[in-house]
């Protein structure tokens, strides 16, 4: 517990799925966690369910003003920010031949531009305190591709290049930047798949199971811990062996 008691964590897209599991894992270990969602009532409701060390705020990662306001409030309240988990993301699936420009742009705006806004917003306080962890939630799709997800794959692949470049920029200030590439995780995005599709996915995974949000949360905790202080610019695959 002592490692996390004074830590301040920001988790974007923290109201459900992986983001909620990440927020819950930090709170359970004593960290002060701010989780965000586009709907303030939903974010606050989830935060209340996690405990008194969690708070929920409305933030749209595509709107810089809301990002800056959230980060400023955290630093004003706690005096620092130790961990940013860039988890907010969306999908708009479809074959590229028929994909409307709006679906391409909305996915890139949230998944990639949101990454830029949030990371840039926390850099000044992290550099000033000469410590910090930025953890970016990519995807196995960004590594291996997937038909019908050209927009999503492009955003998640770009996230890996962003991670490595930023890691080089801020390493001298003791700020590490890493990415996690989850495989198929049981979330709202995958829960609605037909049974036969889910069975086929399970068979393609060497560990023969769909991952749980807690599997990803455990990887986030590692990268945020002192045990990972010499790890930066890396991509941690959490996919059950789907991609090796």
What are the residue numbers of the active site?
152
Tokens of 148: 């019908």
CA quadruple 147, 165, 58, 63: dihedral sign: negative
């Amino acid at each position: 517990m002592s490692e996390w008691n004074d830590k301040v964590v920001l988790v974007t897209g923290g109201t459900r799925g992986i983001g909620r599991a990440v927020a819950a894992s930090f709170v359970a270990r004593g960290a002060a966690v701010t989780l965000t969602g586009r709907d303030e009532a939903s974010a606050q409701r989830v935060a209340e369910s996690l405990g008194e060390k969690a708070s929920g705020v409305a933030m749209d990662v595509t709107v810089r003003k809301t990002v800056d306001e959230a980060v400023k409030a955290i630093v004003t309240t706690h005096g620092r920010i130790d961990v940013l988990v860039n988890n907010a993301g969306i999908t708009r699936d479809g074959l590229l031949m028929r994909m409307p420009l709006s679906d391409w742009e909305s996915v890139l705006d949230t998944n990639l531009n949101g990454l830029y806004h949030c990371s840039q917003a926390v850099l000044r306080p992290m550099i000033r305190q000469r410590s910090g962890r930025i953890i970016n939630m990519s995807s196995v799709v960004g590594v291996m591709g997937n038909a019908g997800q050209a927009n999503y794959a492009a955003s998640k692949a770009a996230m890996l290049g962003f991670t490595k470049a930023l890691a080089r920029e801020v390493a001298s200030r003791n700020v590490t930047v890493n990415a996690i590439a989850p495989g198929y995780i049981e979330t709202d995005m995958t829960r609605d798949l037909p049974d036969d599709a889910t069975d086929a996915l399970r068979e393609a995974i060497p560990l023969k199971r769909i991952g749980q949000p807690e599997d990803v949360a455990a990887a986030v905790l590692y990268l945020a811990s002192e045990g990972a202080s010499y790890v930066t610019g890396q991509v941690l695959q959490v996919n059950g062996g789907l991609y090796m």
